[in-house]
Structure 1
Amino acid sequence: MISYDVTACGEPLQRQERPTPRPTGDQVLLRTLATGVCHSDLHIWQGSYDLGNGKLLSMLDRGMKLPLTMGHEVVGEVVAVGDEATGVQVGQRYLVYPWHGCGQCGVCRRGDENLCMAGRSMGIYQPGGYADHVLVQHARYLVDIGDLPPAQAAPYACSGLTTYSALRKFAPQVLQSEAVVVIGAGGLGLMAALLNPAMGGAGCIVVEPDTAKHLAALQAGARAVVSPRDADWMDQVRQAAGGAVWAILDCVGSSQTVQSGIDLLAKGGQLVQVGLFGGHVDLPTPFMPLRALTYQGSYVGNLRELQELMQLVRERRLQPVPTTCMPLSRAFTALLALEHGQAIGRQVLVPEDAETPSAELPA
């Protein structure tokens, strides 16, 4: 088995070759067909999250061990199953739910493995999809993709699931009647613009400083795109929203974006943050009750939500976000492109022998 691993934080990924694992018990072995390169991979590769005020949250202190095969947006074809695995057959293609919990605690038993305090997420605490094979610990984590191309399906395991779960945290009547202001037009922001109308929402207004991403946001279904570089950008957002902003999805999560979002909200408004850019904010405590604000974090989503999302995608036949495919051996190139802000939509790693190793999926 060939993989491209983090062997030292912040250093180039290293090609590794080791025996292909053999599944036992409930395990399933997949041949990797597509792996999305997520912005979270940057933090994992760098080994930390910025907490602001000069503080860092170390991934190594949280239990991450090196060498690590990253990649948590994985589609693969079943090539072998353990003797206790049920419900899957060799040759079938699946999207992998990567946010594994311990499976035993109360959080896991109620179906929220992504919130487990002893989480074992793939690509973070166990090997992920920057490899030609991936071992999945239980068949229940495999989600049917129907006839979706693997490169289109892969990003739904994180960017799709993250935005779907976050949008569900807004009250249904707000989602149906008010535009959601989406901060950032990266993979998450484009997914939000795409999914919002499919979920019965009133659409999105996207805030994005990089004008090269504006067209992609509009093509994904955004009602309007505003640049925060404009002096009157907040007025533009309010006008596009009909005068008041009730719902904000922050896909960046920096000090500036969170503070701007809080400032934009109407009385009774809600900001949901999924972005992990890093930083620190100071909130005057009286404002929270006086303005009846809700500031909520949302961490990916649970298995049930991913199953719901994939059913929605298949039934509505949603167009893909812009997706650039490249061979697995260029994993580090893709990571650097993401770090430098050069990626539009999602970059997806595919097998070396794929027919179209570098292409953009049609809209």
Structure 2
Amino acid sequence: MNAPTAQTMRAVRMSAPGAPVTLMEIPIPACGPRDVLIRVRAAGICHSDAHYRSGRSPVHPLPLTLGHEIAGDVVAVGADVTGLPVGTRVALHYLVICGTCPDCRAGREQFCRTGLMLGHFTDGGWAEYIVVPAWNAVPLPDAVPYEHGAVMMCSSATSLHALRKGRLQPGESVLVIGAGGLGMSAIQLATGLGASQVIAVDRDAQKLALAAQFGAISVSAADRTVDEVVTAVREASHGRGVDVALELVGSVDTVQVSLKSLAPLGRAVVVGLNHIAVPVDSYRDIIGREAELIGSNDHLRSELEELMVMASTGRLDLRHVVTNTVPLDADAINGVLDALDRHAAPVRTVIVP
């Protein structure tokens, strides 16, 4: 594979909060001595991207190329880069870090003092090319399609990190609230990590049917109150409640369901973005059960390497999760973002430039 001969590329960019993203022609980024230039083959559309476009989660500097779930081919490398020859298939860790601050040295790169997230605070992958530090490029096994590799960089990795934060042990039960892209990965990963039972909650009957195919007990939240959903979860868990609950939606109701569904010593891990205060009955929901409410943010590069092994050996199967592809077209991408805003999108849509 050769480096591009053209000087410009197409990119879908955000220019202002609340405005549609637009297709622009911009320069192909320069490759520094420790960087690699990637020809993007697949870039996911995440619910976070809908939050960015709406302004619910600030993006800067603008205009900015969105997209943080990225896979492609190495087409050029910097002078100081070794071990990533041109032609290597890779997926990209979306946290660009310094590598030298105390958090980076301790393996907590999501808290890097100067860290930048691709597609949020520096240009992302809704483009034909992207430049990243070589450290961010994780080799993608031949058995894993680009589309799956891209989605693994956020939805699968975030789910794995949340399960690790929840300290899931073999034989414990897991509740997954939200059976979208993150949820489908979470169900499979929880099973692969030895969960004795996985319960999935969602309003969408089709997503619950897919969750059931992956072995989850499906509980519908459609037209049900928080207490009614909790009762259904407890019935599914034989009255005890669950050991680990993953909240992947980001609403007041779903956070409450995650807490109220816990067994004694249970851990509720909140992943979904939500800026609204959530009322908590500290005695009944936390103190009385010695339960825990845990935040989970991003993931680690080491977890991406773990995911590659799981995907290449079939323990993580995204064939039924990546349900749609669209071209690098602003109208098509805006349509997916609109559907995500309405909570009416397919499980996962991937851009194929």
Same fold (TM over 0.5): yes
SS in 2 for 1:21: coil
2:264 aligned with 1:256: no
Q: Which amino acid aligns with 1:281?
A: V
Counterpart mapping for 1:326-341 below 5 A: 326-329=326-329, 330-341=332-343
How many residue pairs get matched?
A: 336
| C-alpha distance in structure 2 between counterparts of 1:228 and 1:334, whole Å | 22
SS of residue paired to 2:156: helix
Q: Distance in 1 between matches of 2:190 and 2:301?
A: 20
Asked if 2 retains the 8 angstrom alpha-carbon contact of 1:68 and 1:123, the reply is: yes
SS at 1:195 equivalent: helix
Deviations 1:50-76 (A, max 9, x none): xxxxxxxxx25xxx2100111000001
Residue aligned with 1:306, SS: helix
Secondary structure at the counterpart of residue 215 of structure 2: coil
Q: 1:295 offset after TM fit, Å?
A: 0.1
Which residue matches 2:51? 43
CA RMSD across the alignment = 1.8
1:223 aligns with 2:223: no
Contact 1:5 1:70 in 2 (8 A): yes
- Residue 161 of structure 1: how far off its partner (Å): 0.4
Which amino acid is 1:207 matched to? V
From the superposition, tell whether residues 332 and 179 of structure 1 become closer, same or farther in structure 2 (CA, over 3 Å): same
Gaps of 5+ in 2: 1-8
C-alpha separation in 1, matches of 2:333 and 2:151: 15
1:298 alignment partner in structure 2: 296
Q: How does 1:222-241 map to 2 (within 5 A)?
A: 222-230=216-224, 232-241=228-237
Higher mean C-alpha deviation, range 15-24 or range 226-235: 226-235
Please say if residues 171 and 194 of structure 2, whose CA atoms lie closer than 8 Å, have aligned partners that are also in contact.
no
Q: Is the 8 A contact 1:328 1:350 kept in 2?
A: yes
Q: Is the 8 A contact 1:183 1:249 kept in 2?
A: yes
In the TM superposition, residue 299 of structure 1 has moved relative to its aligned partner by 0.7
Asked if 2 retains the 8 angstrom alpha-carbon contact of 1:254 and 1:280, the reply is no
Provide the secondary structure at the position in 1 that maps to 2:232: helix
In structure 1, the partner of 2:155 is 159
> Closer, same or farther in 2 for the Cα pair 1:75/1:189, shift >3 Å?
same
Q: Deviations over 1:28-62 (max 9, x none)?
A: 0001000010111111112224xxxxxxxxx25xx
Q: Match of 1:198, as an amino acid?
A: G
Cα deviations by residue, 1:185-231 (Å, 9 ceiling, x for unpaired): 11111111121112222241011112232212212331333335346
Q: 3-state DSSP class of the match of 2:80?
A: coil
Counterpart in 2 of 1:357?
none
Secondary structure, in 3 states, of the residue corresponding to 1:4? strand
Change over 3 Å in CA distance of 1:203–1:264 after alignment to 2: closer
How far apart are residue 267 of structure 1 and its match?
2.6
CA contact (8 A) 1:207 1:228 kept: no
Query: Pick from 254, 257, 265: which aligns with 2:262?
Result: 265
Residue 311 of structure 1 corresponds to: 309
The letter for the 1-side match of 2:221 is S
Q: Which structure 2 residues correspond to residues 100-249 of structure 1 after superposition, within 5 A?
A: 100-136=96-132, 138-147=133-142, 148-173=144-169, 176-230=170-224, 232-245=228-241, 246-249=243-246
Q: Is the 8 A contact 2:229 2:257 kept in 1?
A: no
Match of 1:86 among 67, 74, 82: 82
Aligned twin of 2:349: 347
Gaps of 5+ in 1: 50-58, 352-363
TM-score calculated relative to the size of structure 1: 0.88
Q: CA deviation at 1:284?
A: 4.2
Residue 55 of structure 1: aligned partner: none
Q: Which amino acid aligns with 2:321?
A: P
What displacement does 1:291 show? 2.6
Distance 2:11 2:118 in 1: 14
Deviations 1:1-39 (A, max 9, x none): 110100011111111112212212111000100001011
> Partners in 1 of 2:246 and 2:303 — Cα distance?
18
Within 2, Cα distance between the matches of 1:268 and 1:22? Answer: 51
Quick check: 2:247–2:272 contact (8 Å CA) kept in 1? yes
How many percent identity over aligned positions? Answer: 37
Post-superposition offset of 1:304: 0.8
**1:218-274 CA distance string (max 9 Å, x none):** 123313333353464322211211221222100012111112222222232110011
The structural deviation recorded for 1:86 is 1.3
Query: For residues 266 and 197 of structure 1, do their structure 2 counterparts lie closer, same or farther at Cα, with a shift above 3 Å needed?
Result: closer
Q: Which amino acid in 1 is paired with 2:245? A: I
The match for 1:96 is 92
Do the aligned residues in 1 keep the contact of 2:166 with 2:294 (CA within 8 Å)?
Answer: no
Partner of 1:361: none
Q: Which residue of 2 aligns with 1:23?
A: 31
Alpha-carbon distance change, 249 to 255 in structure 1, aligned in 2, over 3 angstroms: same
Contact 2:20–2:53 (8 Å) recurs in 1: no
Structure 2 Cα separation of the partners of residues 130 and 255 of structure 1: 31
Q: TM-score, normalised by structure 2?
A: 0.90
Matched residues in 2 for 1:216 and 1:290: separation?
35
Tell me by how many angstroms 1:106 deviates. Answer: 0.5
Letter in 2 for 1:28: V
Aligned mates of 2:198, 2:28 — CA distance in 1: 44
Secondary structure of 1:180 counterpart: strand
Farther-moved stretch of structure 1 (321-330 vs 86-95): 321-330
8 A contact 1:198–1:316 mirrored in 2: no
